[in-house]
Amino acid sequence: MTDLDPAFLRARKEAVTILLSWAVCLLWTVGVSWTLGYGSGSMHIALGMPTWVTFGVVVPWVAATVFSVWYGLRCIRDE
């Protein structure tokens, strides 16, 4: 198609970026939880929580929130 609406193309690009960010969150969260939680016999504490929760859930959660705020406010184009 030669004359696709640029607004549609921008929205599609943004949707692909969002899907990729979801995949990154999945890999980080499950990967770190597997390494420090499922696969580990011992439990350590960081910031008052089990280490696997701190680095596998809370840190990526904060990162995802910062990314969502930044992406929402700065990267999604006004149409």
Partner 1 sequence: MSSESGASLGAFLAYTAVVLALAWMARRAGAKKAFLSEYFLGNRGLGMVALALTFGATSASAGSFAGFPSLIYAHGWVLALWIASYMIFPLCGMGLLGKRLNHMARMTGAITVPDVLRERFDSRTLALMSTVLLALLLTVYLVPQFTLASLIMQQLLQGVPAYQQASLGLAQTVPWLVPAGTSAEYVLGLLIFAVLVVGYTAFGGFRAVVWTDILQGFVMVMGVLVMLVLALWQAGGLKTATRMMQDMEPPRLGRAIFVSNVDAPPSGVRVASDSWFTTEDRLFRTGESAIILPGTRTSTPVRVVEIMSDEEKTRIRQRGIDPLPRTITPQVSGLEPYARGAGQSGVYVQPPGPSPSDRDGFLPLGLAVSFFAFWALSGTGQPGNMVRLMAFSSTRTLKRAIAALSIYFTLIYVPLVIIFCCARILAPGLDHTPDRIMPVMAFLLADGAHVPWLAGLLIAVPFAAAMSTVDSFMLMITSSVVRDVYQQNMRPAARSSTLRRLSYACTIIIGVVATAGALFPPQFLQYIIVFTGGGLAVAFLGPVALALYWPRFNKAGAMASMVGGFVAYLALYLAGFVALGAITPIRPLGLDPLIWGFLASLGCAALGVAFGQAAPEHLVRRYFCTSPAANGMSIAK
Site for partner 1, rule CB under 8 A: 1-8, 11-12, 14-15, 18-19, 21-22, 25-26, 29-30, 33-34, 37-38, 40, 43, 45, 47-50, 52-53, 56-58, 60-62, 64-65, 67-69, 71-73, 76-79
Instruction: Provide the b/e sequence for 39-57 (b: ≥16 CB within 10 Å).
Output: eeeeeeeeeeebbbbbbbb
Nearest distance from C-beta of residue 47 to partner 1, angstroms: 8
Q: Which amino acid is at 71?
A: Y
Q: How far is the CB of 42 from partner 1 (least distance, A)?
A: 9
Place of tokens 């597997």: 34
DSSP alpha helix (H) spans, 34-58: 51-53
**What is the smallest separation between the CB atom of 46 and partner 1, expressed in angstroms?**
10
